[in-house]
Structure formats: C-alpha cells, structure tokens
Amino acid sequence: MTRTKEALIDSGTRLAPAEIARGDGPIVAASAPLKITAVRAYFQRVEERPRVLVSVETDAGITGWGEAYNHGPDLAYGPILDYLFPLLEGEDPRRVTFLHSKMLHIGRFPPGALGFAAIAAIDHALWDIAGKASGQPVYNLIGGNVRDRVRVYATAIYHPHPDEAVPLLLGLNEKYGFTAFKLSPYRIDPYSARWGTVCKAVSEYFAELRQRLPDHFEIAFDAHAVIQEQAHAVQLAQALEPYEPMFFEEPLRPEHMPAWGRLKAKLNVPLATGEALYNRFEFLALLQEGGADIVQPDIAVVGGLTEMRRIAEVADAHFVPVAPHNPMGPLATAHNLHFSAACPNFKILEYRVTEDCPWIKDPYLPVDGHLELRPDRPGWGVEIDTSVLKVDDYVHWEREAYVKPDGSTAYS
C-alpha cells in the first residue's frame, strides 16, 4: 500500500479497464485464486465539487472501482484507506460480505461519516471485481434485476425564479425525458424572515410552477435539515400540501428518531429522509418510530451496496419504499443503478445531471426519464479513464455556515 497522497496517483501498468468493460478481461473460475494487491485513491472533481475514486487491484489484473462520499475533509480518505488495506491484502475480493464485516468489526466503535464512506468505496470496488471476474453485471450477483429500467429524478436545482425554473425543467424533460424533479423550497432566507412569510412565498412559488408546468410532472422539495422547530416543519409542509409534492425531504436533523414519528403523524404529504443515517440499525429506529414514508439511504454513506441491501429489507418489512440519495458523481450513479435494478421496494433514484466528467467514458445517461441496464457489461458496466486519473484534479469545497441575524450559527 502506498503511503503518500502523491504516490496514490497510480501510473503503473495494469489490465486496461476498457478490456474488462467489453468482457475481454479474464473470467476467473470460482475456485481459482484471486488476491487483493493494492488499494488506491484518486482525487478528482465533477464540475465544481471534489470526488474521490477508489480502486482495488488484484493479482489477476482485474481492478474494481468505487466512489467515496464527499463529506468535506476528502483528503482524509488516503490515510483511512491506508489503515484498511492490511485487512484486505491477500484476501479474495469476491468474499465481499466477509471483507465488509471485517472492516466494520476491526473498530472498537462504529465508524463515522468518513469511515463508512471509505468502506463503501471499497465495498463497491469488491462488487465490481466480483462482477468482472464472473462476467456478470453486479445486479445479477444480488438476485438479478426486478425491473427493466430505473426511473430517475433531476436534482440539485436551487432557488430558481419561476421564469428560470420552468424552461430549465422543460429543457431537462426534452433532453432526458425527466418527469420528476427536486427543488429547494426556500424563496427567502429562512433565518431572517418571519416564518409565515417564508411559508407563504413557498406556497406561491409551488402554485406558479404547477400552473406553468405539465400536470404529470412530479416535484419534490428538499428542506436541507435546517428547520429547528417541529411546528415550523409542519407549517412548511402545509404550504406545499395543496400542490401535491412528490415528497417533502429532510426538514429536521436526523439525530432524534421520536421527533420524526411525531412530525410524520401531523403531515399529509409524503415525508422522506435518511441521507444522514449510516446503517440498518439507525433506519430500523427511524421506521419503528413511524418516522418516514420514504427512506433515502445513500449507498456511498451507509458502507456500500452490502449494507444498502439490508436497509432496503428493513424498509420493506415496514412497507416503506426506498428512493436512494445520490448527489454524487457518475460512478456512484452506477452503484445506485445496480442496487435499484434489484431492489423490490425501490421508488425512484436521485440523478445529478453532469456535463463535464472526463474520468468516466460512458456514464449512465437518462433516456425517457430512466436509466437503462447494461446486461452485456460485467461489474458496474462503466469504464474509468485511468489516463485522466494520472493528474490530480482535486478541488477543495466546503459548506458555508449560516449565520443568523443575532450572530449565532445554524445548520448549513
């Protein structure tokens, strides 16, 4: 395992990912030896946001790929991967569940945000290797697809005036077939204005969108977990209610599960949350409180596909659908596509439209508002351009803390 950030940028020789993606790479018999030889991090970007890619290499020349969640201190992933590598070295990467458990069990305490994200990236690289070694797409390794394509909604659309939002949404519909979208609800600063004024502006905004957009369009609203009073969350939901939002996302912070149960009992719109929860135990606590109509685990946050499937089964036992949180890059979208294809209680997948991402040659792009499966491609079904990764293209990004009029801070 290499030790420095500079050394993590690999320029060595390996089997070309293009050969693997086309199915020309080695197909390894289940009994044949296959060992992990290296774990590497690549610091890249998607437009203005940093992205950390992780590769797991094997002695058979098969490389698997994963994407770590962008929590903020992204350069910390190198040392974390360096710490995890001795647990993986020499192991058969196809023992995905075993290695996932090994990484979790080594810690005296549960991992935090960065630990789970690093484990997720490794977990996904292991699944990619398993698919490539067997010549199968990942979704076939977890029971096969239960649907022929995966519906997506366009996300990360912040604060546009109706005169901007309407042509933007119509353009996304024309180009990609989107009929579902997610916006920020706030029209004015939620910390500076009277709350009733904030809610009135939201109601008027949604009313105008409904009037000017096709009736079959679905619109969700993400409150970004910045509301600190349950009564205010109820008022905002009531402002949205007449216009039938697809869902109302994360009005509160996630830490206190009973608050979510009390909130949902007062709402007449679908309540969605889960992007800041880390594992099946936290989702079980949320669902036992009756705290969500839709859960939104992030596959790059919860420790990867291995844990994501367990969360989905917990949700299914509570008659709750899964709409994965996915504001990340195109490799994370590939991970989510395979999960969604094989998940019986899947609802819809978040999709970030990306115009500039040179390190992936063939991202999944929506057609008619859906992502098509690639049954003829093993692993995740995408090709990473390793020539691009030889140049560190990391960009620093961090959230800006909100400051209230009285000088105190608020959640961003």
Active site residues: 224, 325
Encoded amino acid at 330, one letter: P
Distance CA 332, CA 46 (A): 12
**CA–CA dist 294, 340 (Å, integer):** 14
DSSP, res 137: B
DSSP string computed for 159-171: S--HHHHHHHHHH
Q: What is the C-alpha to C-alpha distance for residues 294 and 315, in angstroms, rounded to an integer?
A: 9
Phi/psi for 120 (5° steps) reads -60, -45
Nearest CA to 363 out of 345, 382, 342, 349 is that of: 382
Closest CA to 374 of 334, 327, 326: 334
Segment (H or E) for 58: strand 49-58
Task: Using the structure block, give the residue that is written with the tokens 């439209």.
Answer: 353
Q: In angstroms, rounded to a whole number, what is the distance separating the alpha carbons of residues 28 and 135?
A: 9
Neighbours of 51 (CB within 10 A): 25
With residue 154 as reference, give the H or E element that holds it: strand 149-157
Entry field: residues in the chain: 412
